């Protein structure tokens, strides 16, 4: 437990400047509306991550990036290492705002695969898969990864390791890959595993991958989840009894700006796959365009654009722009001028995309499925829709485009929701408390085992 000292000024609203002590830092902890000083030791935290930005990344990489930067800013030491997918072109080592980043490569990554959804990429990926070269390479490269992690743990005196439940090296190996003991606690954070995602889309589970992911969760010293829904469904799927802590994804609201909105600008951000609801959105867009011919849809994210364009009819196709993967800075600039953001997902653990859109002052249409209701109260700080209800999606978009007063009302409420509950400064405090609890429990178990 940390020592807490009540402030004399109960009205103080902003965190004070950090006061650094040897190996400690003095910071403000806001708990249930009360202000406290709390002293925690500066921590050395290692994240296993295979998609740290820049590059074509997903939500896991973005979250590690945002969380890592803020942890460094608050006096902690952050390291990240991962076995990166073929075609990921970023530097093997770099420092990002104080975060030390190592990117290890597969032995077979020789520049033939470029992650551009081309026929060439598909050909070489299938060659790797069906020749068993990828499986052999994964086993060798994962051992290299774990050996490297052990060196990092020893050299930088790491206190805790966190890794996601989604790991490509677990999927690509024909034999079971076991994460070794590092003599420090291992936290697995639930962002949505391969098995979880397939179950959410009612697809059959891959038995080998299911076993590998269950073994990882059983191996973990502690498990956290990015939403209540993800925690509940993962426990049910894998038949687990251990307790999960919920640490919601969050964003740095200080980096999100808001300018004059373009009333007819609608935006979608995210990977262009079925589970994100892009097919439903484009189908609904044909209906939206018939009623509101001046609206435009701006789609940001990696995916098979040529195939998706076939969903649009002739009248709607000219009003939809596909930009592919862009930098986060560019994405935030686009959100700043968008009036409406739409995310008709079938499966979401706790997506960053609607958080960023709400922080930028967009009126957000989100999914009624999975964790959507944990963020949005329908009609108050956003709208909830069923991704299978094409007419419902179109109706929600038309309502927000046509009713400016209502749109601004829920956009303002959404912005306040993110600022109050999902800002990274609050999330870092929650993570540090959680990590300290995990370390204390781990040390107690070690003591009892002697």
Instruction: Please tell me the predicted confidence (pLDDT) of residue 89.
Output: 72
Quick one: which H or E segment has residue 438? Answer: helix 424-449
Mean pLDDT by 10 residues, the chain (450 residues): 33 32 43 46 95 80 94 96 78 94 79 50 57 75 94 98 91 83 97 94 93 96 97 96 94 87 96 94 98 97 93 94 91 96 95 95 97 97 98 98 97 97 94 96 81
338, 269 in Cβ contact below 8 A?
no
**What pLDDT, on the 0 to 100 scale, is given for residue 21?**
37
Q: Helices in 292-361 by DSSP H: which ranges?
A: 305-309, 314-317, 328-337, 352-359
Strands (E), 351-403: 363-367, 383-385
pLDDT reported for residue 320 = 98
The backbone region for 239, taken as left when phi is positive above 0, alpha when psi lies in -120 to 50, beta otherwise, is: left
- pTM to 2 decimals? 0.83
pLDDT value for 121: 52
Return d(Cα 127, Cα 125) in angstroms, integer.
Answer: 5
What is the pLDDT, as a whole number, of residue 132?
Answer: 67
In the chain, the domains with their CATH numbers are 42-250+425-449 (3.40.50.2000), 253-421 (3.40.50.2000)
> Residue 361: helix, strand or coil by DSSP?
coil
């Amino acid at each position: 437990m940390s020592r807490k000292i009540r402030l004399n000024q109960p009205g103080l609203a902003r965190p004070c400047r950090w006061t650094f002590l040897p190996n400690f830092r003095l910071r403000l902890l806001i708990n249930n509306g009360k202000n406290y000083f709390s002293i925690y030791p500066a921590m050395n935290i290692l994240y296993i991550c295979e998609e740290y930005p820049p590059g074509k990344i997903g939500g896991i990489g973005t979250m590690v990036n945002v969380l890592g930067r803020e942890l460094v800013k608050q006096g902690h030491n952050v390291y990240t290492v991962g076995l990166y997918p073929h075609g990921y072109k970023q530097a093997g080592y770099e420092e990002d705002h104080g975060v030390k980043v190592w990117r290890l490569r597969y032995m077979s990554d020789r520049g033939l695969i470029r992650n551009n959804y081309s026929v060439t990429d598909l050909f070489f990926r299938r060659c790797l898969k069906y020749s068993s070269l990828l499986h052999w390479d994964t086993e060798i490269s994962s051992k290299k990864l774990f050996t490297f992690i052990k060196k990092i743990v020893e050299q930088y005196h790491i206190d805790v390791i966190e890794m996601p439940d989604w790991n490509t090296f677990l999927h690509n190996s024909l034999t079971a890959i076991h994460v070794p003991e590092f003599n420090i606690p291992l936290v697995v954070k639930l962002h949505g595993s391969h098995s979880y995602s397939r179950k959410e889309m009612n697809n059959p589970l891959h038995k080998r991958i299911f076993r590998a992911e269950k073994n990882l969760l059983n191996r973990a010293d502690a498990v956290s989840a990015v939403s209540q829904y993800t925690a509940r469904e993962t426990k049910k799927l894998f038949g687990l009894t251990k307790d999960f802590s919920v640490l919601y994804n969050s964003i740095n609201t200080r980096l999100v700006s808001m300018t004059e909105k373009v009333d007819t600008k609608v935006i979608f951000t995210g990977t262009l796959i079925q589970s994100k609801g892009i097919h439903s959105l484009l189908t609904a867009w044909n209906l939206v365009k018939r009623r509101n011919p001046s609206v435009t849809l701006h789609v940001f994210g990696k995916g098979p654009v040529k195939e998706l364009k076939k969903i649009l009819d002739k009248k709607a196709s000219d009003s939809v722009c596909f930009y592919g993967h862009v930098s986060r800075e560019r994405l935030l600039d686009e959100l700043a001028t968008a009036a409406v953001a739409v995310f008709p997902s079938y499966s979401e653990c706790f997506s960053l995309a609607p958080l960023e859109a709400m922080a930028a002052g967009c009126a957000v249409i989100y999914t009624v499925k999975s964790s959507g209701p944990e963020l949005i109260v329908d009609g108050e700080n956003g709208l909830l829709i069923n991704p299978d209800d094409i007419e419902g999606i179109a109706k929600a978009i038309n309502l927000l485009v046509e009713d400016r007063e209502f749109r601004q009302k829920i956009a303002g409420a959404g912005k306040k929701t993110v600022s109050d509950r999902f800002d990274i400064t609050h999330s870092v405090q929650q993570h540090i408390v959680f990590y300290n609890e995990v370390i204390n429990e781990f040390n107690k178990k070690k003591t009892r085992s002697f």
